Structure 1
Amino acid sequence: MNELPEFFRTEVFHPLSVHFPIVLLLMATLFKLIGLWSSKITWDHGGRFLLLLGVIGVWIAIYTGDLADGIVSRQLCDPTVLKEHENFAYTTAWIFTATLILEFLMKYVDLLKNRITSVLLVILILAGSGTLTYVGHLGAELVYQQAAGVNIPSEDCSEFN
């Protein structure tokens, strides 16, 4: 029986889908921060659009990460890193989702168009960017220190001692 090509391995979908939301959400953060000091509305609208695409992408990345979890977790010497990666990924996704909801509420509900809500939006988007960076660090640790989805470590994991 022929195996499927490497591209169709379930755990490969996660690294394929995760990089777009990282860039989109970090760029959304940058656009929103520039928009605070710029009089051009383009930064604000661009930031909102990047945030929307990034939130869609982060939930796709979570879904593909869940698909890879069952395959990758059996190969890890320290699965607690994977669990922390997953937990922070959900935290990141929810922070950016809340930011997006607040962003749209500010746009369409006049009562929410004030300085306090704007500051809250900046705090949320910066917190999301911070957790996103940490999630990326944990993902890199999984790949480069434990060969998650790349290579099956030896049975006794002696190379990690």
Structure 2
Amino acid sequence: MAEIPEFWRTEVYHPLSVHFPIVLLLLAFIFKLFALKFKRELWETGGTLMLLLGVAGIWIAIYTGNLADGVVSRKLCDPTILKDHENMAYLSAYIFSGSLLVDLAAYFKTYFFRKMIVQIVLVLGLAAGTGVLMYVGHLGATLVYQQAAGVNIPSGNCAEFE
């Protein structure tokens, strides 16, 4: 039976899709911090756009992570790290999604509170999401570099590359 090409392995989709939303969400947090400090529309709008794209991306990353779960979990020495990685990824997605809802409510001039209070709540939510996201990344790195999750380990003589 022929082995499927590397690109079509479902566990490969997750690392392909996870890095883009990480960068977008971290930059959204930085932009919103700058918007709070410098009160510039460019920082505010840019942060909102990055947060919107980052939230869409984080849910795609969770979907591809679920695709990889069935393949990767069978080969791990400690599958509890994978479960922690998954649970914390969901938590970060919920935090960032909630932050996006707060941001969109402020953007569309919904005045539940004064705008400054909404911005502070938003930045605190993004800070919490960023902290959880960093822990998710740490757990993901632990899976890959300590347990070889999703890694194709070649034979000793690397004959398959000849």
Q: TM-score, normalised by structure 2?
A: 0.90
2:32/2:47 contact within 8 Å kept: yes
- Partners in 2 of 1:127 and 1:111 — Cα distance? 22
Say yes or no: does 1:94 pair with 2:94: yes
Corresponding residue for 2:14? Answer: 14
- The 3-state SS of whatever aligns with 1:92 is helix
Equivalences for residues 64-75 of structure 1 within 5 A: 64-75=64-75
1:116/1:40 CA distance change after superposition, 3 Å: closer
Structure 1 stretches of 4+ moved >4 Å: none
Give, as a single letter, the amino acid of the residue that structure 1 aligns with 2:148: A
My pick for the range that moved more, 130-139 or 31-40, is 31-40
Corresponding residue for 1:130? Answer: 131
- Partners in 2 of 1:66 and 1:145 — Cα distance? 20
Provide Cα deviations, 1:77-135, integer angstroms capped at 9, x if missing partner: 00000000000000000000000000001122133443332221111000000000000
Equivalences for residues 2-151 of structure 1 within 5 A: 2-108=2-108, 109-151=110-152
- Partners in 1 of 2:74 and 2:53 — Cα distance? 32
**Count of residue correspondences:** 152
- Partners in 2 of 1:62 and 1:41 — Cα distance? 31
- Partners in 2 of 1:74 and 1:44 — Cα distance? 44
- Partners in 1 of 2:132 and 2:13 — Cα distance? 22
Structure 2: gaps (5+ residues): 154-162
1:105/1:112 contact within 8 Å kept: no
Q: TM-score, normalised by structure 1?
A: 0.90
Identity of aligned residues (%): 60
- Partners in 2 of 1:6 and 1:86 — Cα distance? 24
1:14/1:65 contact within 8 Å kept: yes
Q: Shift in Å at residue 38 of structure 1?
A: 1.2
Corresponding residue for 1:159? Answer: none
Cα RMSD of the aligned pairs, angstroms, is 1.2
